[in-house]
Structure 1
């Protein structure tokens, strides 16, 4: 348990377009479910994931992978020069992949990503999950529970 690695991609919108900010998270617990969902609900919702991410609370600040965690609205309201210093989990906007991806901001309109970066990642990587639910922060065992589809 807590031996997996994922990369979270936080979406940031400006008038100029969308930029994705990746953060690699080591020592997380990622449980994926394919077969059971295929049998129960059909292929459309075949891939689901439950991601457990531990955090550290220091002086009232939740820290994950050395970065302060911010709520989705607080994260989106930051100035663009502050984004590399924090992370968030936003259902319906952010996504995660199993494994590591370079922690360099990705411009969505880059010509290499014909239909956008999220579409590119979906077509070129396995185990890509759009965040669907966010549970936590839980205090008894300090962690978040992130659902993905």
Structure 2
């Protein structure tokens, strides 16, 4: 347990409607992947789900995920673009993948072409175990952690 590494991608839209993704590599997480498939009208449809458990600790009254302060989603969006790499949030619409990805902000429009409709789509087509965040539980206090569901 708590032996996996994931990269969480936080989505940020600036005042000019440019979308950026801020990757954060998290080690020492618990990732449970349920591989499944549904038969839809159009054929086989992936129904893989993931449960991600991320520990946090308190430092000077702040919740810390790894070495970054956790900021609730609405507060995180209000930060200046320059500060976003220095903190982390978990929100519906963000995504995560198993493994490490470089921690450099990514401009979504660099991945928008006829084949891809943005960075998330690009990553989902090229990598296994990429999950859109669908639920966020926590922060829980008895055992300090977040429970994040992905699909």
TM-score, length basis structure 1: 0.91
Alignment of 1:1-149 (within 5 A): 1-14=1-14, 15-35=16-36, 38=37, 43-44=44-45, 46-91=47-92, 93-110=93-110, 112-114=111-113, 115-149=117-151
- Give the whole-Å Cα distance in 2 for the aligned partners of 1:84 and 1:74: 14
Give the number of equivalent residue pairs. Answer: 144
Long gaps (5+) in structure 1? none
Determine helix, strand or coil for the equivalent of 1:131.
strand
TM-score where L is the length of structure 2 = 0.90
Q: Distance in 1 between matches of 2:71 and 2:17?
A: 23
Gaps in structure 2 of 5+ consecutive residues: none
Q: CA deviation at 1:113?
A: 4.6
CA contact (8 A) 1:3 1:28 kept: yes
User: Considering only aligned residues, what root-mean-square deviation do their CA atoms show, in Å?
Assistant: 1.5
Shift of 1:65: 1.8
Distance in 1 (alpha carbons) for counterparts of 2:102 and 2:10 = 13
Distance in structure 1 (CA, Å) of the matches to 2:61 and 2:139: 12
Deviation above 3 Å: which 4+ runs of structure 1? Answer: 41-45
By percentage of residues, which structure has more helix? 1
Paired residue secondary structure (2:109):
coil
CA distance in 1, matches of 2:98, 2:57: 22
| Equivalent-residue separation in structure 2 for 1:69 and 1:88 (angstroms) | 6
